[in-house]
Chains A and B, each alone.
Chain A
Amino acid sequence: ETGVTQSPTHLIKTRGQQVTLRCSSQSGHNTVSWYQQALGQGPQFIFQYYREEENGRGNFPPRFSGLQFPNYSSELNVNALELDDSALYLCASSSGLAGETDTQYFGPGTRLTVL
């Protein structure tokens, strides 16, 4: 059983650019959530995907968007990057099993730096 993987590990972009981050969920998991963790803070919920549909969203602007694919892997896209978007982006997956739907397993994250 493979865990949650994310790519790339690190990324450097400049203001105004666009970025795509990728996540492969744990085997058997159909729900993926994305989080932004700024330095010294707890992760902030961005949005969640369940069976290719957005299933909930936090307080992030529309320039943060996502996709989930039939194999349940996922992408996070951020347009018009701002300096404050510099953070660790975490992906988490969870299964659809009753009683376990909100138990999340996290990937190692992608460190995004916006210059």
Chain B
Amino acid sequence: AQSVTQLDSHVSVSEGTPVLLRCNYSSSYSPSLFWYVQHPNKGLQLLLKYTSAATLVKGINGFEAEFKKSETSFHLTKPSAHMSDAAEYFCVVSDQWDTGGFKTIFGAGTRLFVKA
């Protein structure tokens, strides 16, 4: 069965310093992996998606994530945090049903705080 573990419920960084949000996953198949961001009172926005084309995935707003199969990890990074990055971040794994549809499992989320 698939699962997603976000290793930190809260991360606090200073503006201009690097961001690291950690995610481990478990899946029986070759999953698709995603990172989504949720700003307060707003919907979920797709940051990036891993399929199998490249292990380093670049997303929007300067975020990127590296897929490491041996470590079953998909950590999200950004070289320099901005105040506008403060939000909730979700790591997501998607696996296919036998019927051809897909099931999406969300991690519990990591709240990113950015200090001025």
Residues of A within 8 A of B (CB): 4, 31, 33, 35, 41-45, 48, 50, 55-56, 58, 90, 92, 99, 101-109
Instruction: Choose from B36, B49, B90, B102 the contact partner of A56 (Cβ within 8 Å).
Output: B102
Minimal Cβ-Cβ distance residue in A for B98 = A56
CB A102 to nearest CB in B, in angstroms, measures 4
Q: Let me know if B32 and A90 touch, CB within 8 A.
A: no
Q: Let me know if A42 and B103 touch, CB within 8 A.
A: no
Range, interface on chain B:
20 to 34
Instruction: Choose from A4, A42, A48, A107 the contact partner of B102 (Cβ within 8 Å).
Output: A48
Assembly CA distance A42 to B106 (angstroms): 6
Chain B residues, Cβ within 8 Å of A43: 44, 90, 106
Chain B residues, Cβ within 8 Å of A45: 103-106
- Given A101-B102, A102-B96, A104-B104, 16 more contacts at CB 8 Å? A31-B101, A35-B106, A42-B109, A43-B44, A45-B105, A48-B101, A55-B97, A56-B103, A58-B103, A90-B43, A90-B44, A92-B44, A103-B49, A105-B46, A108-B42, A108-B43
CB A16 to nearest CB in B, in angstroms, measures 29
Interface flags, B87-116, vs A, CB<8A=1, else 0: 000100010110111111111110000000
**What are 12 inter-chain pairs, A to B, with CB distance below 8 A?**
A35-B104, A42-B108, A42-B109, A43-B90, A56-B97, A92-B44, A99-B51, A102-B96, A102-B102, A102-B104, A103-B34, A108-B42
Minimal Cβ-Cβ distance residue in A for B31 = A102
Q: Let me know if A42 and B104 touch, CB within 8 A.
A: no
Query: Which residues of B11-60 have CB atoms within 8 Å of chain A's CB atoms?
Result: 32, 34, 36, 42-46, 49, 51
Assembly CA distance A31 to B82 (angstroms): 35
Interface flags, B59-80, vs A, CB<8A=1, else 0: 0000000000000000000000
Q: Let me know if B46 and A33 touch, CB within 8 A.
A: no
Q: Let me know if A42 and B107 touch, CB within 8 A.
A: yes
Minimal Cβ-Cβ distance residue in B for A4 = B43
Chain B residues, Cβ within 8 Å of A90: 43-44
Q: Let me know if B106 and A44 touch, CB within 8 A.
A: yes
